[in-house]
Structure 1
Amino acid sequence: MANKVRVTALFLVLAILIATFGAVSVVQAKTVGDVEKLEIIEEGQQTDCTLRWHRVKGADGYQIFQSVSDKKAFDKVKTVEGKKNTRVQLTDLTPATVYRYKVRAYKIYRDKEYTGDFSPEMTAYTLPGAPKVEASSLSEGSMNLRWSTDTGAAGYQLQYAKDKDFSADGAQTMDFKAGQNSAVLEKLTEKATYYVRMRGSMAVGSSTKYGPWSEVKSLQIAETVKLPANIDKDKPMVALTFDDGPAFDGSTGRILDVLEKYGARATFFMVGTRINDNTKKYLKRELELGCELGNHTYNHDHYGKTVTEADVVKCSDAVYKACGKRPTAFRCPGGNMSSVMQNTAKKEGMIIAYWSVDTEDWKSRNPAQIISQAEHGAYDGSIILMHDIYSSTADAVEKIVPALVKKGYQIVTVSEMIQAKTGKAPQAGQQYIDYKTINNNTH
Structure 2
Amino acid sequence: MPKQKSAARSTSIAGLLTATTLVLALSGCATYDVTAPADARADATASADADAKNGDAKNGDGTKSAHASDVDCDKAKCVALTFDAGPSENTNRLLDILKKEKVHATFFMLGKNHVAERPAEVRRIDAEGHELANHTWSHKILTDIKPAEAKRELSRVQDAVKKITGKTPKLMRPPQGRTDEDVSRVSKELGLAQVLWSVTAKDYQTNDSALITKRVLDQTERDGIILLHDIYKGTVPAVPGIIEQLKKRGYTIVTVSQLLSPAKPEPGMVYRP
Scaled by the length of structure 2, the TM-score of the pair is 0.71
Relative to structure 1, the CA distance from residue 341 to residue 402 in structure 2 (aligned partners, 3 Å threshold; closer, same or farther) is same
CA distance in 2, matches of 1:257, 1:263: 10
SS at structure 2 position matched to 1:380: coil
Quote the offset at 1:401 in angstroms: 1.1
Q: Which residue of 2 aligns with 1:396?
A: 238
Q: Which residue of 1 aligns with 2:144?
A: 305
2:77 aligned residue (214, 236, 241): 236
Quote the offset at 1:353 in angstroms: 0.5
Contact 1:303 1:334 in 2 (8 A): no
CA distance in 2, matches of 1:370, 1:265: 20
- Listed as ranges, the gaps of 5+ residues in structure 1 are 1-189, 192-222, 435-443
Give the alignment of 1:159-174 within 5 angstroms: none
Quote the offset at 1:393 in angstroms: 0.5
Q: Which residue of 2 aligns with 1:378?
A: 220
CA distance in 1, matches of 2:141, 2:69: 35
SS at structure 1 position matched to 2:235: helix
Equivalenced residue count is 208
Q: Does 1:252 align with 2:91?
A: yes
2:193 aligned residue (351, 375, 392): 351
Contact 2:107 2:131 in 1 (8 A): yes
1:275 aligned residue (97, 115, 125): 115
Compare relative contact order (CA 8 Å, sep 6+) and give the higher one, 1 or 2: 2
Give the alignment of 1:36-51 within 5 angstroms: none
Contact 1:309 1:340 in 2 (8 A): no
Contact 2:193 2:269 in 1 (8 A): yes
What letter is aligned with 2:209? P
Give the alignment of 1:180-195 within 5 angstroms: none
1:287 aligned residue (96, 106, 126): 126
Scaled by the length of structure 1, the TM-score of the pair is 0.45
Q: Which residue of 2 aligns with 1:341?
A: 183
What letter is aligned with 1:316? Q
CA distance in 1, matches of 2:156, 2:247: 36
Quote the offset at 1:303 in angstroms: 3.9
Quote the offset at 1:342 in angstroms: 1.2
Of Structure 1 and Structure 2, the greater strand share is in 1
Quote the offset at 1:424 in angstroms: 2.3
Quote the offset at 1:344 in angstroms: 2.1
Give the alignment of 1:50-65 within 5 angstroms: none
Contact 1:272 1:298 in 2 (8 A): yes
Structure whose alpha-carbon radius of gyration is higher: 1
SS at structure 1 position matched to 2:239: helix
What letter is aligned with 1:351? A
What letter is aligned with 2:220? A
What letter is aligned with 2:203? D
Q: Give the % identical residues.
A: 33
Q: Which residue of 2 aligns with 1:332?
A: 174
Contact 1:328 1:351 in 2 (8 A): yes
